[in-house]
A and B are shown apart, each in its own frame.
Chain A
């Protein structure tokens, strides 16, 4: 007997609702699980004190700092390069073989597995350029995946600028470069900024590539020494640095501290909260900039 259309429709709708709520349930329980296990661990002490090797009560202070600093370093390298290449793609490139080729390069670069990027970093930045395991080597490796994202974000942002605005600039006798820097970039800033922050979230959680480039240990840091040349300064880009994600990996695998599991749980929760913050932050900033730029004055 053939099912009536209505019944089929009802069943299908129920199935869609079921799966949608299943996904939500999985997500909620996933995030809930991590936060439930980890939130209890988070305290000011936990966030600021250095880890302990074989005693309880260690924190994640240096790791948290390293993650943020590595992020800043990566952005310092990526943003100018990514915006430059994005401008080229949006404004200077002509349709043709070369442009197609660059597009392919961007696409392939962003699809490389992070472990392959990490190995490349190990070979080239760590060994060949002799940067050793260092923040700089880590930042360069992260640049490899972040760069194509920046290029796309910039290109998309600039292409989103209405034609009239661009033409107005050109009509005023501005050169193309001035039109780009004075008109196109400021207008597309909200898009570029939101995209950048979201990309930053990904950098924050990366571990596989950093295992081989930034290393798995954090040397003694002297948080009163802000001279980037000093080997104990937190700002020295040539010191090895263990980020939060790498730290979770390490204490899960070799941790001998009795509270290793709790620390891993706490650190995971911190990591998730930070990513959440990045997501919310980029949304908020996008909306804020949009309002600011469109406010009638």
Chain B
């Protein structure tokens, strides 16, 4: 029995050593003496909504022979976690669907200053309702009235006589902030009885199944189970977002602490390359950053 324990302890020790060993590899430095091939590893953590995108691109990146010695690890955890980890140096890239300045407020504003923003894609959000509601357009005012509780029945918004069920996001959610800022123009209240889900999959399931439900989803999640509605007569389509006529969209950010090192830069550049922007980003329902005809800054000011 003692021997068994000894063996076990040795294994633990070996694992710990292994742990330390691999940590040394983890720093993401390149050892290319000739400067031709980059190697090392990158950790990108953050937004769960961005995770499928970054994972997909990282697979493609690592399959590329030029970068085959680079390992990219993609983590979820939420935008807040991503920003925390990149600002503390635990992750090389912090994925966020919101400007860092909106998370690091007041006392922490200095932390946001250290982070360099790389906008890699645009995500647009559409208002969705249950199919039975019977409307296909809402004005901005109607939307505001619904999300602030002034309208509680669909018949007051041109639909059938059915109670409105709001499927919102938690108040910490970046998606909710985008929706409030650009669709409503005002903060929405957490009304008693409304439902809050953080994940797009659950929002879609609930809006699809619950009579009278309304919620909002990124374009990539839209399908036949829910009804997408127009905002002030404008369809939530990629083209309308690009031209600036549909306002509910946000940048997908990849933050680095200071300027990125060579391998992180290689990955971000790859992300921004036409090859990725025209295929994977579009396929996954995002909008290419290069095709945007409008730009927006953190305060929400739009420039052509």
Task: Tell me if chains A and B make direct contact, with any CB pair below 8 A.
Answer: yes
If over half of A's interface residues share one DSSP class (helix, strand or loop), that class is named, otherwise mixed; here it is loop
**Does A237 lie within 8 Å of B73, measured CB to CB?**
no
Q: Does A219 contact B (CB under 8 A)?
A: yes
6 tightest A-B contacts by CB?
A253-B199, A216-B76, A228-B18, A181-B1, A219-B73, A53-B56
Tell me the smallest distance from the CB of B228 to a CB of chain A, in Å: 16
Question: Provided the pairs A239-B73, A240-B73 are in contact, do residues A229 and B25 lie with their beta carbons within 8 angstroms?
Answer: yes
Question: Provided the pairs A216-B51, A229-B25 are in contact, do residues A133 and B2 lie with their beta carbons within 8 angstroms?
Answer: no
**Number of A-B residue pairs with CB-CB distance less than 8 Å in the complex they form:** 120
Comparing B7-15, B30-38, B102-110, the segment that makes contact with chain A is B7-15
**Does A231 lie within 8 Å of B26, measured CB to CB?**
yes
**Does A252 lie within 8 Å of B202, measured CB to CB?**
yes
Taking A132-B90, A220-B59 as known contacts, 19 extra A-B pairs with beta carbons closer than 8 A to each other, sorted by chain A number, are A76-B15, A80-B12, A136-B15, A215-B75, A215-B76, A217-B55, A217-B73, A217-B74, A230-B22, A231-B22, A232-B71, A237-B15, A237-B18, A252-B201, A253-B199, A253-B201, A254-B76, A255-B201, A260-B201
Question: Provided the pairs A216-B75, A217-B76 are in contact, do residues A53 and B55 lie with their beta carbons within 8 angstroms?
Answer: yes
Question: Provided the pairs A238-B22, A254-B52, A256-B52 are in contact, do residues A133 and B77 lie with their beta carbons within 8 angstroms?
Answer: yes
Chain A interface residue count, CB cutoff 8 Å, equals 43
Q: Which of A177-230 contact B (CB under 8 A)?
A: 181-182, 185-186, 212, 215-217, 219-220, 228-230
Choose from A76, A131, A132, A240 the contact partner of B12 (Cβ within 8 Å).
Answer: A76
**Does B221 lie within 8 Å of A256, measured CB to CB?**
yes
Choose from A54, A212, A236 the contact partner of B22 (Cβ within 8 Å).
Answer: A236
Q: Does A170 contact B (CB under 8 A)?
A: no
**Does B12 lie within 8 Å of A77, measured CB to CB?**
yes
**Does B73 lie within 8 Å of A186, measured CB to CB?**
no
Query: Which B residues lie within 8 Å of A230 (CB)?
Result: 22
Query: Which B residues lie within 8 Å of A217 (CB)?
Result: 51, 55, 73-76
Question: Provided the pairs A217-B55, A220-B59 are in contact, do residues A237 and B25 lie with their beta carbons within 8 angstroms?
Answer: no
**Does B15 lie within 8 Å of A216, measured CB to CB?**
no
**Does B22 lie within 8 Å of A254, measured CB to CB?**
no
Q: Does A103 contact B (CB under 8 A)?
A: no
**Does B19 lie within 8 Å of A238, measured CB to CB?**
yes
Q: Does A109 contact B (CB under 8 A)?
A: no
**Does A253 lie within 8 Å of B200, measured CB to CB?**
yes
Choose from B12, B22, B55, B90 the contact partner of A229 (Cβ within 8 Å).
Answer: B22
Q: Does A79 contact B (CB under 8 A)?
A: yes
Tell me the smallest distance from the CB of A272 to a CB of chain B, in Å: 21
Q: What's the Cα separation between A255 and B199 when bound, in Å?
A: 9
Q: Does A167 contact B (CB under 8 A)?
A: no
Question: What residue of chain A has the Cβ atom nearest to residue B25's Cβ?
Answer: A231
Q: What's the Cα separation between A182 and B292 when bound, in Å?
A: 74
**Does A250 lie within 8 Å of B15, measured CB to CB?**
no
Question: Provided the pairs A132-B90, A254-B51 are in contact, do residues A215 and B77 lie with their beta carbons within 8 angstroms?
Answer: yes
**A–B complex contacts, Cβ < 8 Å, 22 sampled:** A53-B55, A53-B284, A79-B8, A80-B12, A127-B90, A131-B19, A132-B43, A136-B15, A216-B51, A220-B58, A220-B62, A220-B71, A220-B72, A228-B22, A229-B21, A229-B22, A231-B25, A231-B71, A236-B18, A253-B201, A256-B220, A256-B221
Q: Does A9 contact B (CB under 8 A)?
A: no
